[in-house]
Chains A and B, each alone.
Chain A
Amino acid sequence: MITIKLHKIVGDFAENKDIARDVRENELLPALEKGNEVIVDFGGVTGATQSFVHALISEAIRRYGSDVLDRISFKNCNEVVQKIITIVTEYMQESE
């Protein structure tokens, strides 16, 4: 199990898609490829954009199917961040 702590990378507002891509390519997808479970920790992050969350997790859902959500947990998300993650996971599954 690996934990990705976002606040130290993105700060208070998770909006930088370039950072999302780096986390996706260098941490999230390699961990999933190895069969690991991943915790994405939003502690300290007060907001996020749909673009950021899409850039972070959509490829994992596309590549591994919706079952990948059994291997990714989202920790310390406030209500807004939870809603945005839910939107992205739902539309990715609808378009699978």
Chain B
Amino acid sequence: MKVHLPNSAFLGNIDSFFNSLDMSDTNTLQISANKKWISVHPLVLAMVAALGQTVRPENIACEAFEAKSKHYFERMGLFRFLGVKSGIDVVEHESAGRFVPLTQIQSQGALSKFVTDMIPLLHLSPAHAEPIRYIVTELVRNVIEHAESPHGAFVAAQYYEKSNSIRIGIADVGVGIKKTIGRSHRVSGDLSAIGLALTPGITGTTAREGGTEQNAGAGLFFIKSIASINGDFFAIYSGSALYKLLRQYATKRHVLHADPFRDRHSARENLPQWPGTAVGIDMMLDENEKFSALLEHIRGTYARAVRERRKERYKKPRFV
């Protein structure tokens, strides 16, 4: 496998990074990087760290980073997870506080601790912390519960002062959404599986409406809805498909759709096969709606979606 860290890869332009992944020869991992400047979404780091777990350390070849921004990758812990000596010295200075370095989470206990520790690292107000801890918890819990990855979830987050936003990336190298959703629903491909996973009330654990006692099939719909209302980017890449919720127009943010393909989005198929699931989200802190108001919007859409899907299954009278 080959990964090249480009000059820039954020959710708006991340498609080309995904497309550049070379997933052949799964026994080796070669990592190269732009020589001048590398500025990437935390999702990219989470993906590379996760991928590194699938290869023996001696089969990972990481070229020496030359870019001026190379220290960032050392501070985020990328080389540590790859078992690579970067040769980069980092002077820890106090302003380093507004990021969450790469963290591997393999159990519910580790997740609870991570969520508690994460918020102070990002220096967030309670109002901003609320949706972020919600999103991270639900996404990582999905990995622990459904991904079947021996390596768990890789998470990283970064505050960006210029845009006053938090960018979060979560990646795993598990079985992917198509397999988990396909256990209970008919799926035609990776994109259709992502679509179902984002639809309220659909879970891979049962075909039954309303889910099981332990799973409702609501988690990803909630997260997509939070992103939609706040006008944030949200991207999910699994198998060969990418679904990307684009920033919603301010006037349409409160129009939530149960069908993710009715939201303003882009979708791609035939990307290199990602062995698991990778999710990225950007949260603009200036534009965040109060969390309770946001839940009120979700409430209306969710109940309506469940009701409409039940109606679809009603038997129709036969008029002869």
Binding site for B on A (CB under 8 A): 11-13, 15-18, 21, 24, 46-47, 49-51, 54-55, 58-59, 62, 79-80, 83-84, 86-88, 90-92, 94-96
Contact = CB atoms under 8 A, between A and B. Distances in A.
B138 A49 contact: yes
Contacts of A83: 292, 295-296, 299
A22 B111 CA distance: 18
B115 interface: yes
Interface stretch (B151-159, B183-191, B230-238, B302-310): B302-310
Contacts of A94: 303, 306-307, 310
A83 to B, nearest CB: 4
A49 B213 contact: no
Chain A facing B: main interface SS: helix
A87 B130 CA distance: 17
A54 B138 contact: no
Contacts of B115: 13, 15
Contacts of A59: 213
Interface of B: 108, 111-112, 115-116, 126, 130, 133-134, 137-138, 141, 145, 200-201, 209-211, 213-216, 218-219, 222, 291-292, 295-296, 298-299, 302-303, 306-307, 310
Given A17-B214, A92-B210, A47 B133 contact: yes
Contacts of A18: 108
A15 B137 contact: yes
A80 to B, nearest CB: 5
A83 B134 CA distance: 14
A36 to B, nearest CB: 20
B237 to A, nearest CB: 22
14 contacts: A15-B111, A16-B111, A17-B214, A49-B137, A54-B215, A58-B211, A83-B295, A87-B298, A87-B303, A90-B302, A91-B218, A91-B306, A92-B210, A94-B307
Contacts of B108: 16-18
A66 to B, nearest CB: 13
Contact of B222 (A21, A24, A50, A95): A50
A13 to B, nearest CB: 6
Given A15-B141, A17-B214, A80-B291, 18 more contacts: A16-B112, A17-B108, A17-B141, A18-B108, A49-B219, A50-B219, A50-B222, A51-B215, A51-B219, A54-B214, A58-B210, A62-B213, A83-B295, A90-B302, A91-B210, A91-B306, A94-B303, A94-B310
